[in-house]
Amino acid sequence: MRVSDESGVMMGSQDRRDRLAEIIRLSGFASLLNLVKEVKVSESTVRRDLDYLEQCGIAKRTHGGVFYTGPAPALPHFDQRQNRQGDKKQQIAAAAAALIQDGETILLDGGSTTYELAQQLVGRPLQVVTNSFPVATLLMTSEMTDLVFVGGYVHGKTGVCVGPYAVEAIQRLNVQKALLSVAGINQHGFFNSNQLLVETEQSMMRVADQVIVLADHTKFDHSSLSCMCALDQVDALVSDDQLPGHWRSRLRNAGLQVITATPAELQN
């Protein structure tokens, strides 16, 4: 089916879907009625287009409308890292989402894998604390999410707030689960590449009943600038199916619960 846009030019189905995706991206949430009015086609056609966008990971259907769940804002951190091990990060995010119960208060840092997790959580009844602008932007239009944003010094590459102001704000909170990303893992512990980020994450760990690290297999046997904590200071780790067997044993011996994400093609 082809319809005309505002200039009178005929739009094909892909043009219409692109237009719908842009409307949803700009608004964060769009009602079905407004989308029908915008593209001037039947409700059934818009529903089919939304099904397609949901399959592509761009949108998430909910009662009466749709949320944007597409790529993060154009920040260097995400431009460089979001596509690395992208399928593995999505699998890890799905496995991590299954660990979170509706109604819980959780804390998400600003890693690319935790952003993937945030996409999985759109539309769920949760209280989410985050210091990440991309995560907050994604979740702020979700009517089911009670969002708490932690401010501070903004790290330009990642859109994450770090430093003493962020630490002070976090120290006043309590969450059931803190879900954190790391740059490297070796026998000495978990590492990240920014000292202020590590100090902020350490404060997140102190206010959480359970600390869960999300890390794909490429992060193992590597270190970075600053050590966040020793292996035994984390409660659980979610990784992909390529996590080496000796690392599974080492982590379990350190007292961690190890969750291995299932490849998407095996989930059906």
Q: What percent of the chain has pLDDT over 70?
A: 86
The 8 Å CB, 24+ separation contacts for 8-14 are: 11/39, 13/49
Locate all alpha helices (DSSP H) within the chain, ordered by sequence.
13-27, 32-39, 43-55, 76-81, 86-97, 112-121, 133-139, 164-170, 195-206, 245-253
Query: Looking at the predicted structure, is the pLDDT value of residue 268 above 70?
Result: no
Where are the CATH 3.40.50.1360 domain residues in the chain?
76-266
Q: What is the pLDDT of residue 83?
A: 52
Give me 238's structure tokens.
């979610």
Q: How many CA atoms lie within 13 A of 1 on its CB side?
A: 13
Instruction: Identify which has the larger pLDDT, 157 or 138.
Output: 138
The CATH-assigned architecture of domain 3-68 is: Orthogonal Bundle (1.10)
Q: What is the pLDDT of residue 106?
A: 98
- CA-wise closest residue to 175 among 140, 146, 210: 210
Q: What is the pLDDT of residue 255?
A: 97
Q: What percent of the chain has pLDDT over 90?
A: 53
Q: What is the pLDDT of residue 141?
A: 73
Q: How far apart (Å, rounded) are the C-alpha atoms in residues 178 and 106? A: 6
User: Which residues on adjacent β-strands are paired with residue 182?
Assistant: none
What is the pTM (predicted TM-score) of this model? 0.74
**CATH 3.60.20.10 at 76-266, yes or no:** no
Where are the CATH 1.10.10.10 domain residues in the chain?
3-68
Per-residue pLDDT tens digits for 37-65: 888 889 999 989 998 888 887 887 776 67
